[in-house]
Structure 1
Amino acid sequence: MLDNNLECMESRKIPQFTSKIGRNQLCPCGSGKKYKRCHGGEDGGGKPVPGMIDARIRKLSPQRKCLVPSSLSSECSRGTINAHTVSRSASLGAIAHEGHVYSYKISIQELIKSKGRILPTRTGWKDASTFPGFCGVHDKKLFSALEDVPFSSTKEQCFLLSYRAVAREYYMKQGSMLQSDLRHALSSNSKIARQFINDFNHGTELGMKDAEAHKKRYDAILLEEKWEQVRAIVIEFDGLFPIQCAASFQIENDIYGKEIQFLGFGKQTPDSISLTSFVAGGISYICFCWLADSDSSCKPYIEALQRAPLVDMPAILAALLLQTSENCHFSPTWYDGMTNAGKDWCAAQMRNGATLDVLPPPALSAAGAYLTGISVKTINEVS
């Protein structure tokens, strides 16, 4: 018992971020100056300009590369496309109004303008939910069983929904890793900020390793078509669910706040689950999908969700989506029709999801008044 307690205590310690910027290296801020004469100097490089920081972040993007397993790369067409994580025509087209949806485009400038609130902006529905993660050949070929035939909740279809979310999460983690030195440079004149960024950057390192491990597992399932390793539940709604989303996350607590899995700083890769809200054949669905090796965390999580009263579930799921991912896209009809209190509720969920603290339980954050006119029709375990 003592050994177990010591191991738990060790896993709760935050190791130091190991990457350092050489004084004679170019400053990560993009100024073209040596680090020692810029953000590594006594004046810390001067006051950061939000627009310049945003521009630098955009440049620190991962290499555009098709994220298929390496054994399939010989089939790739040249370059990558802006692949949709949420189906363009079926899902985004269902919620779009006058060719637009609401999406999150988080930037330093926008956060300053909104005084720290994370607010959605109108986005062309053809551009929403995209990332340069697949070439044209594989965006078509890999997902044909999902896009070219009616949705019937097969294990393969649920896996493909999840694979998109896992690939995007892997891509986003790559981008965050590339920005680690920039964060470090911009915090160089503040001891408190340096410690915070140190902790954040180490979490980013671990997150990248976890995302890579999950991607490899999903790649193996894809190549070998081991659909028997896929677990999923599919929730079907009466009415159009106003938030479309594709996300992958590591479970920590269930929807009521009970701890299921401790996300420490150890070497073990945490269990992961994907969550996709989409429309197929004019019907709204939410699919939770995971692999058999994550049963120990994902099964209790789903069991807790299924205990929720059906009347409360749409609002609980809306809170969960907003807390889980910035890859959420809203119906303008729904969002524009909300009161200021409703829009504040959306902002609060996004703010909760953006903190490093444990998220508030979705079951306690739900607001049924904002999800009227939609109800759960069925909850099916995919077998």
Structure 2
Amino acid sequence: MGVGRGRNEKCWCGSGRKFKHCHLHREEQVPLQPWEAEKAFREEFRTPLCSAPTADHQQCSGKIIRAHTVPRSGSLNRIARDGHVYAFVPSLQNLTKYNGKLEPELVGVRSASTFTGFCSTHDDAIFAPLEKAVFSATPEQCFLLGYRAFAREAYTKESAARMLPVQRSADRGRDISDQVGMQMFNKLYEVGIAAGLADTRAQKAEYDRLLLQRDFASVRAYVVEFLEPPPVMCAAGWMPSTDFAGDMLQDLAAPGRLASMSFTSFATGSGGAVVFQWLACDDEVCDRFARSVEAIDDAELSSAMVRLMFEYFENVHISPNWWESLPAETSVSLVERMARSANPFRSQIAKPLLDDGVNVGEWKITRRFRVGVRRNDSQAA
């Protein structure tokens, strides 16, 4: 494949470049060195930019900070030990160290849960109602939890897209058959990145519009409050495909817009909370997911939340005391869940949120409630 291709024709790999400038004699080139890939990874995933709405960029301070998706002072410090929490640190070095599987490692709370995605002015101004007031689950506060989560998702997917040229060059020094296999995988991966990025950009644009208009009427949330801060903290957005009952919610491979939801677990002034947040336009999928959360007994909810976090999110931060107190088989199972769900070469579980018998203990719940009302619910009332 490509062996007899003309030097000036487009390369078979789909890069858009001429064959002579792309894969001609690729098998004779110096292989991509681990330090090259690691350097590119660090640079792309630390690119400084401000994720505030474009229309508001004239107010940027120009000083991009390491913004915390889970607050450091109010949340991470509450579960830290000697200023450290456990986290999964994605890097090529760690993947090599642990044979393709990430293990949680201790990281300082100053760097945990950060991304260089906001300038100092916007990080302070946008999230002031969340960071400088007691959390009372107002529609605005729930919206801001989702806004921050989706800003990070957009930043991460943009960074992954910028890494694609490095991935395309990873077959340097490989024989032709290896080149073909690697480039076929790259094509599938790029299609997935492009689709996910398009959905996330559309979601972020809608959140930008609502933020600028300060319109929080379409905010929906399901909130669970705990007596103490949850020992696993996370801020992420995702597109739920199945719920906790194993029911299909949406086909992620289907064309068109996909429904999205954010998840945040954090400490509050009186204890802790988990907030599932979405917009009214995604009620059809996300309300059904919330109803599956409502159906879980209090005693089983903490295990379900941990199952969700380790299945779909890597931005999790864990209390060292809690993690080290887990039975060995429990922590091994959770690490395996994280590794399996993140590896596209491994077979995935069709209904990953069903109870798998892994119990992490009960986090005492003080209250559950909803924020926002579905249109048909308000009409029925």
- Residue 227 of structure 1 corresponds to which residue in structure 2? 216
Which residues in structure 2 correspond to 1:95-244 (within 5 Å)? 95-187=79-171, 189=174, 190=178, 191-244=180-233
CA distance in 1, matches of 2:46, 2:13: 21
Residue 360 of structure 1: how far off its partner (Å): 4.3
- Residue 238 of structure 2 corresponds to which residue in structure 1? 249
Residue 342 of structure 1: how far off its partner (Å): 2.4
Structure 2 residue 287 is matched with structure 1 residue 299: yes
CA distance in 1, matches of 2:329, 2:17: 45
- Residues 17, 202 of structure 1: 8 Å contact kept: no
- Residues 240, 261 of structure 2: 8 Å contact kept: yes
Structure 2 residue 346 is matched with structure 1 residue 362: no
1:210-265 superposed Cα distances (whole Å, 9 cap, x missing partner): 11100000001111111111000111113331111000000111123221100115
Residue 288 of structure 1: how far off its partner (Å): 0.3
- Residue 328 of structure 1 corresponds to which residue in structure 2? 316
- Residues 316, 366 of structure 1: 8 Å contact kept: no
CA pair 193-152 structure 1, distance change in 2 beyond 3 A: same
Is the deviation greater in 334-343 or in 144-153? 334-343
- Residues 106, 118 of structure 1: 8 Å contact kept: yes
Amino acid at match of 1:68: A
CA pair 381-219 structure 1, distance change in 2 beyond 3 A: same
CA distance in 1, matches of 2:253, 2:204: 20
Percentage of pairs with the same residue: 30
CA pair 327-170 structure 1, distance change in 2 beyond 3 A: same
Q: Structure 2 stretches of 5 or more lacking a match? A: 1-11, 373-381
CA distance in 1, matches of 2:48, 2:15: 24
Q: Structure 1 stretches of 5 or more lacking a match? A: 1-15, 26-34
Residue 111 of structure 1: how far off its partner (Å): 1.3
- Residues 224, 275 of structure 2: 8 Å contact kept: yes
Please give the root-mean-square deviation of Cα atoms over the aligned residues, in Å.
2.1
Is the deviation greater in 336-345 or in 245-254? 336-345
CA distance in 2, matches of 1:251, 1:377: 26
CA distance in 2, matches of 1:244, 1:210: 25
Q: Secondary structure at 1:202's aligned position in 2?
A: helix
Equivalent of 1:371 in 357, 361, 367: 361
CA distance in 1, matches of 2:44, 2:122: 25
CA distance in 2, matches of 1:304, 1:19: 44
Aligned residues: 353
Q: Secondary structure at 1:304's aligned position in 2?
A: helix
